[in-house]
Amino acid sequence: KEQIMIKILHRLEWFLGLVLLHVLVLNQLHVAGYATPFFYIYFILKVHSRVGRNELMLWSFALGLTVDMFGNTPGMNAAAATCLAFTRNSLMRLVTLRDLDEGFRPSIKNLGFSSFFRYSLLTCTLFCTLLLLIDTFSFFDLTVLVMKIVTSTLSTLLCIFCAESLGRKKG
């Protein structure tokens, strides 16, 4: 029982920290009017592989909804984050040779750089595409939409790999 409570408290700390970082800092950044890093999806990427899909979808929905409440984006982040949580294990199976039942936390150390890069790239691209399509809700200016997706994906990837680098040095 104590172990479960510790895990929940640890997830809540990450949850709140990433939401605050996004809302107070990263959501204010719009590099060249295009790129916005959505670093809070790092929470979804890093959850232990044994966590069930339903539990991960609940955490992701709550994460997205919290960001939506602070960002005045009614349900957009919640929808994209929930969809990412739904597809996460499939994306992980696509890029890694490991069995998800082994139980591991996705990281460069556990997956290797190449697999973790592909996993992160796929998840960031999927999330940014979904979120920006929901936000735009139009293909009217396809060039701008594609630029926003590409630049937001790259800025999110940069944040993820910076965090991974700091995590490797720390531990």
Whose tokens are 């591991």? That residue is 104
Residues 76 and 133: their CA atoms lie apart, in Å, by 10
Residue 38's nearest CA partner among 55, 14, 12, 19 is 19
**Mean pLDDT of all residues in the chain?**
84
- Distance (Å) of CA 25 to CA 3, 38, 71, 105, 167: 32, 11, 12, 27, 20
What DSSP character marks residue 31?
B
**Amino acid identity for residue 126 in this structure:** L
The tens digit of pLDDT for each residue in 112-148 reads 889 999 999 999 999 999 999 988 876 678 888 899 9
Cβ atoms of residues 102 and 126 within 8 Å: no
Check the CA dihedral 134-144-86-37 and report its sign: negative
Which residue's structure tokens are 């899909």? 53
Q: How confident is the model at residue 171 (pLDDT cuts 50, 70, 90)?
A: very low
**Amino acid letter, 152:** S
Tell whether the model's pLDDT for residue 11 goes beyond 50.
yes
pTM: 0.85
